Amino acid sequence: MSVGISASDLRHALPALGLREFWYPAGRSKEFGRRPVGRKLLGADIVFLREPGGVHALSDRCPHRGMPLSCGDRRFEGTITCPYHGWTFNMHGECVAALNEGPESPIPGKVRVRTYPVEERNGVVWVFMGDGPPKPLSDDVPEELLAGRSIIDLRVAVWKCGWLPAIENLVDSHDVIAHRTSAFYLFRKLPSWVKVGATETADGKGVDVRYEAMGPVHDIYPNIGRWPRRSWYRRLGMSSPNSGHQGLSQLRLPSLVRAAFPRMNYVRWTVPIDEKTVRVFLFASTNATGLAALRNRLSYWLWMSWSFMTQILNQDQRLFEGQDYFAPEQLSQTDVGIIKWRRVLAACAQREAQQRANG
């Protein structure tokens, strides 16, 4: 059966290792100390090093013979020394000494490793993965993560799936089926079905997705009859504080989804590690100040931290880790958000490819 919407094969035009000309979260500030930390982002191995002035990021491949610099030592002020033959690099990526070749070696000044721009804000380290000059952090990072003291919680997890299914999941219609048994939805009037609407954002950097219509708590389906079969308690419509986002999620370049809940903003930022693994940053934040901020924080720790950030996300993880993303697919009305998002993504991937081709 054809449903008249086809964009599935755009999947092959999407960058399996992510878009490059963007800022991405690398980790929490407290993870990065003086000791080198090696981390793979978008297929690139990077070593993060903290100096008194801040965190620096260098390619984690020694240009001599490919040893990871993250296994090296910090023997001299402001440098990292490769553990293999002792080539030593400063924070600009320049080789300043080749210990194995002696003080007269011609290597220093001639060899360098790539560096990546880094910024640290609100306890999070951000890295710019592009080849071009970095744009301001606020071009890519949503304002709710940059405002002072706005972040309530940040969880970082590694999921065994590509970044594409991990982000598409937040704007499809699975809530009404897959999360039906969760505490988060247990005492809510969860609809039997939904109709999804999606609009590209005015700045062309994302897609707003919302429920345009919702079915009744129970409905009668041809062939099978009543669904859900039993859940009388949903008719009570008791609502737990902070349950249910306010009908709108936004997919945003390069790889994040934002959703506004009554008392918290949620951001899921999926950062590709390689084609089959993704590091996911789950942010809870609030725009409120004073007493309202305190109430929102309390509500988060009493309710959302376990019902949403733990149980719902564990359910999600099981779904997309089990999904075969590149299997033939039959998209339908409720996938309209995903269809528009894939178009925005493919257009951006094409612009990046063109930029690279033009040098």
What does the binding site for ligand FES look like in residue numbers (CB under 6 A)?
62, 64-65, 67, 82, 84-87
**Closest CB to ligand FES among 81 and 285?**
81
**Closest CB to ligand FES among 97 and 194?**
97
Picking from 171, 175, 170, the residue whose alpha carbon sits closest to that of residue 191 is 175
Cα separation of 47 and 65, whole Å? 16
Give me the residue label for tokens 């992510």.
Answer: 18
Q: Which two tokens stand for residue 268?
A: 């899921």
Q: Under the phi-then-psi rule, with left for phi > 0, alpha for psi from -120 to 50, and beta for the rest, what region is 93? A: left
Q: Which two tokens stand for residue 232?
A: 């009388």
Please, what is the minimum distance in Å from the beta carbon of residue 250 to Fe ion? 16
Please, what is the minimum distance in Å from the beta carbon of residue 79 to Fe ion? 45
Q: What proportions of the chain, in percent to the nearest 5, are helix, strand and coil?
A: 30, 30, 40
Rule CB under 5 A: say whether 119 interacts with Fe ion.
no
Stretch that binds Fe ion, among 41-49, 147-155, 245-253, 315-323 (CB under 5 A): 315-323
For residue 306, give the H/E element and its range: helix 305-306
Torsion angles phi and psi, residue 23, rounded to 5? -80, 145
Q: Contact at 8 Å (CB) between 55 and 66?
A: no
Q: Which two tokens stand for residue 76?
A: 């001299």
**Closest CB to Fe ion among 57 and 280?**
280
**Closest CB to ligand FES among 85 and 218?**
85
Please, what is the minimum distance in Å from the beta carbon of residue 67 to ligand FES? 4
Please, what is the minimum distance in Å from the beta carbon of residue 63 to ligand FES? 8
**Closest CB to ligand FES among 86 and 142?**
86
Q: Contact at 8 Å (CB) between 32 and 70?
A: no
Q: Which two tokens stand for residue 267?
A: 């951001």
**Closest CB to Fe ion among 157 and 294?**
157
Tell me which residue has its CB nearest to Fe ion: 316
Please, what is the minimum distance in Å from the beta carbon of residue 283 to ligand FES? 37
Please, what is the minimum distance in Å from the beta carbon of residue 98 to ligand FES? 7
Please, what is the minimum distance in Å from the beta carbon of residue 93 to ligand FES? 14
Q: Which of 316, 335, 337, 342 binds Fe ion (CB under 5 A)?
A: 316
| Residue 282 bridge partners (DSSP) | 155, 268
Half-sphere exposure of 279 (CA within 13 A, CB side): 16
65 binds, among Fe ion, ligand FES, none (CB under 5 to 8 A by kind): ligand FES
In 10 A of CB 208, how many CB atoms? 19
113 binds, among Fe ion, ligand FES, none (CB under 5 to 8 A by kind): none
Please, what is the minimum distance in Å from the beta carbon of residue 319 to Fe ion? 7
Q: Which two tokens stand for residue 226?
A: 């009543």
List b or e across 237-265, with b for residues whose CB sees 16 or more CB atoms inside 10 angstroms: eeeeebbebeeebbbbbbbbbbbbbebbb
Which residues, 18 to 37, sit near Fe ion by CB under 5 A?
Answer: none
84 binds, among Fe ion, ligand FES, none (CB under 5 to 8 A by kind): ligand FES
155 binds, among Fe ion, ligand FES, none (CB under 5 to 8 A by kind): none
**Closest CB to ligand FES among 81 and 150?**
81
**Closest CB to ligand FES among 104 and 324?**
104
> Could you list the residues that contact Fe ion (CB under 5 A)?
316
